[in-house]
Structure 1
Amino acid sequence: MERLQPRALSVLVGLAALTIALAGLRGVAGIVGPAFLALVLIITVYPVRVWLVKHHVPGWLASVILLLSVYALMILVTLALVISVGRLAVLVPDYTPQINGYVTDVTAWLQDRGVGSDQVNAIKDSFDVGSLVGVATDILSGILGVLSDIFFIMTLLLFLAFDAAPTMKVVGTLADHKPDVVAGLASFASGTRSYMAVSAGFGFIVAVVDVGALLIIGVPGAFIWGVLAFVTNFIPNVGFVIGVVPPAVIALLDGGPGLMIAVVIIYSVINFVIQSVIQPRFVGDAVGLSATLTFISLVFWAWAVGPLGALLAVPLSLLFKALLVEADPDARWALPLISGKVPAAD
């Protein structure tokens, strides 16, 4: 009993501190999200600078090339999102007659089965054109909203690009004094780099295949849905569902149930082969998060940071795992619980 009371008190104090920290995090989410995005981009592209330096490129020039590479990546993604949001805003209203027709059919079907007129009218009034593809609009617009703060992100990237090398040297000097912290940070950087690089690579492949398939079967807005597929590939577990619903709805409105079923089947096959079979083999054990914990982290970071938190859920979780578990020898017993894998026998 003498040990239980202090331990319970420590847990309560920890929970109270966590609650305060989360309230503060939500209050500064508009800064934390873009700042962490800039950090993740630098970490992902940093091997380019290492390669250049090994090939006798001056350090300052390697940092400039690193910075320009990240800038080019951001500009390409921003342009793709701007075009997609604009085309989506033009595309959706064109299907107002079809949507109204489906709503009328559904309300008539409900009335035939004895549903009251008040309830039917409430359901009918709740439908609007934008809500049917609102998830796609929210995601694309949310990410575009973050990238629209381009001055802050690009300025931060400028400092990060030139501070990256000195910071790495400083961290290296701490290895003798704080080996566990350095090892944890190295694990975070390696896991983040693997996750982001593989997700971007396979997201591009999925987007290209999706666009090609949608063009062949004649679904409008193929480029929009390709950009959405690329973005949602960074969202673990539910990204595929978010990516398939909007084009399936448009296919239903444009070509009927047959075209919608074709879209669902094509997306399901592509998702299973690329995202469920091939992609995990390339990521390997770098992430070290169980499927359940990954889903919980997705919900938590989306709540704490906003739409960008859903895209950066895995890197954010890797950072906290590195700082709170991997950097603390007394807490490493939790690593098998976090990864969901039984440690190998000695």
Structure 2
Amino acid sequence: MPHPQDSEESTLPLNLTLTLAALVVIVAGMRAGSSLLVPLLLALFIAVVCTAPVQWLHRLGLSMRLAVWLTLVVIGGFLSLLGLLLVNSFDTFIDALPGIEQKLYQYYLGLLDGLAGLGLAIDTNRLADLLDAEQFGDWIPAVLGEVGNLMMQSIVVALLVMFLLFETLNFRDKISRALVNPAPSLRRFSEFSLTLKRYLAVKTLISMVTGALIWVACKLLGVEFALLWAVMAFALNFIPNIGSAIAAFPPVLLLLVAPDGGLFDATLLAAAYLGVNFVMGNIIEPRVMGRALGLSTFVAFLSLVVWGWIFGAVGMLLSVVLTMTLKIALDSHPETRWIAHLLGPGDESTIEKAHRPISERDEE
């Protein structure tokens, strides 16, 4: 008679194969439906962030429905004003782009001539033809087309956010009526939603502070289009490891070629970017969130690659948010909490601490 343990070991490869096959099907489905899932995910995360002011207004005595409407009006007005300022700054940047291209082209030719003067076998004429200044303008219509597509997607996301916020008003009642024993599920869902809400709110606030500090640094150093670079720093702060470098490259390069700039000012701006991102990302953020809400460096970079491959640029932007959502969901259930611990930084003080929900752990 076979031993029960032998039977469990014989089914382990089959279960692992089925799990991997299901994972492949899910990932392929997400990639195929990315055009539908990306606006939905953006709307879901924005709605989660917006629930914090809704709850705050409700505690002040407003009804939930009125609190939702007031939150939508305030946030919509703020985003509309920011959008108008950003569009105006972007238009000015497009107008100044030919002059910037010409200056970069001249710097590039000077660099090639300098390298050729050192004895390097470089055909300056051939390389210069590859980076002809007239060819730089070819991508402008494509960028403008993407901006138009972004505006349409923004309208869809805004409508989804509005409907999702109103849907949350009676979501717990629906769950209670749908389940026979709703208490355990509601408890896990409450823990998951509170932790996710806290993470998204803190991450968004830190990104806003990062953008504001970058705006101040650009203003102090006389960098043009400071609002544009500040918004870029805010958005790319959600991308781990390389987001801050991508956000710093355009303004530093612009200041390098500016008539009133130069190498010294560009170095100062690069140092400002480095200092802001180091302080906010390595000192403030871990202290505010706690180490339990962190990811290991490898997992953060791997999530950037995987989600970027599935959802494109938006997947890279939301890579850490999506992975943290998955980690919080795994951590809210005792049977999958060990997987969430593997995704974390792994520096918690005791082993028992990893087996408790995030909300019950002490922040470091």
The two structures share one fold, judged by TM-score above 0.5: yes
Equivalent-residue separation in structure 2 for 1:194 and 1:237 (angstroms): 22
2:323 is equivalent to residue 317 of structure 1: yes
Could you say if the C-alpha distance between residues 47 and 201 of structure 1 is closer, same or farther in structure 2, counting changes exceeding 3 Å? closer
- Offset of residue 114 of structure 1: 4.7
- With 260-269 and 138-147 compared, the bigger mean Cα shift is at 138-147
- Offset of residue 156 of structure 1: 1.6
- Paired residues of 2:232 and 2:247 also in contact (CA < 8 A): yes
Structure 2 residues without counterparts, runs of 5 or longer: 1-5, 353-364
Equivalent-residue separation in structure 1 for 2:26 and 2:323 (angstroms): 16
**Where does residue 331 of structure 1 map in the other structure?**
336
Structure 1 residues without counterparts, runs of 5 or longer: none
2:345 is equivalent to residue 340 of structure 1: yes
2:275 is equivalent to residue 269 of structure 1: yes
Task: Deviation per CA, 1:262-310: give whole Å up to 9, x if none.
Answer: 1112222222223322232112246342232122212222221122222
- Paired residues of 1:84 and 1:224 also in contact (CA < 8 A): yes
**Where does residue 287 of structure 1 map in the other structure?**
293
Could you say if the C-alpha distance between residues 320 and 100 of structure 1 is closer, same or farther in structure 2, counting changes exceeding 3 Å? same
Amino acid corresponding to residue 327 of structure 2 in structure 1: K
In the TM superposition, what are the counterparts of 1:1-346 in structure 2 within 5 Å? 3-117=8-122, 123-127=127-131, 145-171=149-175, 177=181, 181-254=185-258, 255-285=261-291, 287-323=293-329, 325-326=330-331, 328-341=333-346, 342=348, 344=350
More contact order relative to length (CA 8 Å, sep ≥ 6)? 1
Task: Deviation per CA, 1:33-89: give whole Å up to 9, x if none.
Answer: 111111111111213222333343233322322333443354345435433433332
Equivalent-residue separation in structure 2 for 1:224 and 1:26 (angstroms): 30
* TM score, norm. by length of structure 2: 0.79
- Paired residues of 2:48 and 2:200 also in contact (CA < 8 A): no
Equivalent-residue separation in structure 2 for 1:260 and 1:21 (angstroms): 45
- Paired residues of 2:256 and 2:266 also in contact (CA < 8 A): yes
- Offset of residue 20 of structure 1: 2.3
Amino acid corresponding to residue 312 of structure 1 in structure 2: L
Could you say if the C-alpha distance between residues 142 and 179 of structure 1 is closer, same or farther in structure 2, counting changes exceeding 3 Å? farther
Equivalent-residue separation in structure 1 for 2:324 and 2:8 (angstroms): 32
Equivalent-residue separation in structure 2 for 1:261 and 1:233 (angstroms): 20
Could you say if the C-alpha distance between residues 215 and 56 of structure 1 is closer, same or farther in structure 2, counting changes exceeding 3 Å? closer
RMSD: 3.5
Equivalent-residue separation in structure 2 for 1:231 and 1:201 (angstroms): 12
- Paired residues of 2:112 and 2:122 also in contact (CA < 8 A): no
- The number of residue pairs the alignment matches comes to 343
- Paired residues of 1:78 and 1:144 also in contact (CA < 8 A): no
- Paired residues of 2:172 and 2:186 also in contact (CA < 8 A): no
Equivalent-residue separation in structure 2 for 1:110 and 1:66 (angstroms): 58
2:293 is paired with a residue of what secondary structure?
coil
Equivalent-residue separation in structure 2 for 1:106 and 1:295 (angstroms): 34
- Offset of residue 336 of structure 1: 2.2
Could you say if the C-alpha distance between residues 54 and 339 of structure 1 is closer, same or farther in structure 2, counting changes exceeding 3 Å? same
Task: Deviation per CA, 1:227-286: give whole Å up to 9, x if none.
Answer: 212222222332221111111111111122222111112222222223322232112246
Task: Deviation per CA, 1:125-159: give whole Å up to 9, x if none.
Answer: 44366999xxxx99999687445323322322232
Equivalent-residue separation in structure 2 for 1:106 and 1:181 (angstroms): 64
